Amino acid sequence: MAKISKSENSENVLEINDLTVRLPKGADRENAIMDVSITIGRGEIVCIVGESGSGKSVTAQTVMGLNPPDQLSPTAGSVHLNDESILGVSQDRLRQLRGERMAMIFQEPMTALNPVMTVGDQIEEMLEIHTTFSASERREKVLEVMEDVNLPDPKKMADSYPHQLSGGQRQRIMIAIALALEPGLLIADEPTTALDVTTQAQILDLIKDIQVRHGTAVMFITHDFGVVAEIADRVVVMRNGRVVEQGTVDHVLSKSKEPYTRMLISSVPSLTPPKREPIIKGDPILQTRALDKIYGSLGLFGKGRVVHAASQVELEVRRGETLGVVGESGSGKSTVARCIVRLVDPNGGEILIDGNNIAGLSQKGIRSFRKDVQIVFQDPYRSLNPRRTVGQSIVEGPMNFNVGKVEALERARELMRVVGLSPDALDRFPHQFSGGQRQRICIARALAMEPEILIADEAVSALDVSVQAQVLELLDQVRKDFDLAVLFITHDLRVAAQICDRIMVMKLGEVVEQGPTASVYADPQHEYTKLLLDAAPGRDVDFSGAASI
Partner 1 sequence: MTTEAIQTDLTEETEARSRPSAWSRLSQNLSARIGGGLLLLIALIGLFASFLTTLDPTEINPSNRLKSPGHEASIRDDEGKKHKVTAHMGTDSLGRDIYSRVVYGSRISLVVGIAVALISVLAGTLIGLVAGYFRWVDAIVMRIMDGLMAIPAILLAISLVSLSGASLFAVIFAISIPEIPRVVRLVRSIVLTIREEPYVEAAISVGTPTPKILWRHVLPNTISPLIVQGTFICGSAILLEAILSFLGVGIPPETPTWGNIMAEGRDFFQIHPHAIFFPAIFLSLTVLAINMLGDGMRDTLDPRMDRNI
Q: Which residues are at the interface with partner 1 (CB under 8 A)?
A: 26-28, 341, 343, 367, 370-371, 373-375, 377-379, 382-385, 387-388, 393, 396-397, 400-401, 420-422, 425, 428, 431-434, 436-437, 442, 445, 448-449, 467, 470
Residue nearer to partner 1 on the CB measure, 169 or 490: 490
What minimum distance in Å lies between the beta carbon of 476 and partner 1? 16
What minimum distance in Å lies between the beta carbon of 100 and partner 1? 31
CA angle 78, 83, 89 (to 5 degrees): 55
What are phi and psi for residue 325, nearest 5 degrees? -110, 115
User: Do 191 and 171 form a contact (C-beta atoms < 8 A)?
Assistant: yes
What minimum distance in Å lies between the beta carbon of 440 and partner 1? 8
CA distance linking residue 408 with residue 426, whole number of Å? 12
Class of residue 444 by CB neighbours under 10 A (exposed 0-12, middle 13-18, buried 19+):
buried
Class of residue 208 by CB neighbours under 10 A (exposed 0-12, middle 13-18, buried 19+):
middle
Residue nearer to partner 1 on the CB measure, 211 or 437: 437
Residue nearer to partner 1 on the CB measure, 130 or 428: 428
What minimum distance in Å lies between the beta carbon of 464 and partner 1? 11
Class of residue 243 by CB neighbours under 10 A (exposed 0-12, middle 13-18, buried 19+):
buried
What minimum distance in Å lies between the beta carbon of 28 and partner 1? 4
CA angle 49, 52, 56 (to 5 degrees): 45
Residue nearer to partner 1 on the CB measure, 454 or 500: 454
Q: Which residues contact 454 (CB under 8 A, 6 or more apart)?
A: 374, 375, 376, 446, 447, 475, 478, 479, 484, 485, 486, 487
Residue nearer to partner 1 on the CB measure, 467 or 496: 467
What minimum distance in Å lies between the beta carbon of 344 and partner 1? 10
3-class state of residue 275 by DSSP? coil
Residue nearer to partner 1 on the CB measure, 28 or 540: 28
Radius of gyration of the chain from its Cα atoms, rounded to whole angstroms: 25
What minimum distance in Å lies between the beta carbon of 383 and partner 1? 4
Query: In this structure, are strands 12-22 and 73-81 parallel, antiparallel, or unpaired?
Result: antiparallel
Query: In this structure, are strands 485-490 and 322-326 parallel, antiparallel, or unpaired?
Result: parallel
Residue nearer to partner 1 on the CB measure, 351 or 541: 351
Residue nearer to partner 1 on the CB measure, 202 or 461: 461
What minimum distance in Å lies between the beta carbon of 233 and partner 1? 33
Q: Which residues contact 67 (CB under 8 A, 6 or more apart)?
A: 21, 58, 61, 73
What minimum distance in Å lies between the beta carbon of 131 and partner 1? 35
Order across the sheet with 73-81: list the strands.
31-41, 12-22, 73-81, 84-85
User: Do 179 and 235 form a contact (C-beta atoms < 8 A)?
Assistant: no
Residue nearer to partner 1 on the CB measure, 117 or 298: 298
Residue nearer to partner 1 on the CB measure, 271 or 337: 337
Q: Which residues contact 270 (CB under 8 A, 6 or more apart)?
A: 494, 497, 498, 542, 543, 544
Residue nearer to partner 1 on the CB measure, 281 or 387: 387
What minimum distance in Å lies between the beta carbon of 373 and partner 1? 7
Helices (H), strands (E): how many in the chain? 21, 20
What minimum distance in Å lies between the beta carbon of 279 and partner 1? 25
Q: Which residues contact 172 (CB under 8 A, 6 or more apart)?
A: 149, 150, 151, 203, 206
Q: 475-482 — which CB contacts under 8 Å span 24+ positions?
A: 475/443, 475/499, 476/322, 478/418, 478/419, 478/443, 478/447, 478/454, 479/320, 479/322, 479/454, 480/320, 481/418, 482/447, 482/450
What minimum distance in Å lies between the beta carbon of 498 and partner 1? 18
Residue nearer to partner 1 on the CB measure, 253 or 375: 375
CA distance linking residue 128 with residue 121, whole number of Å? 10
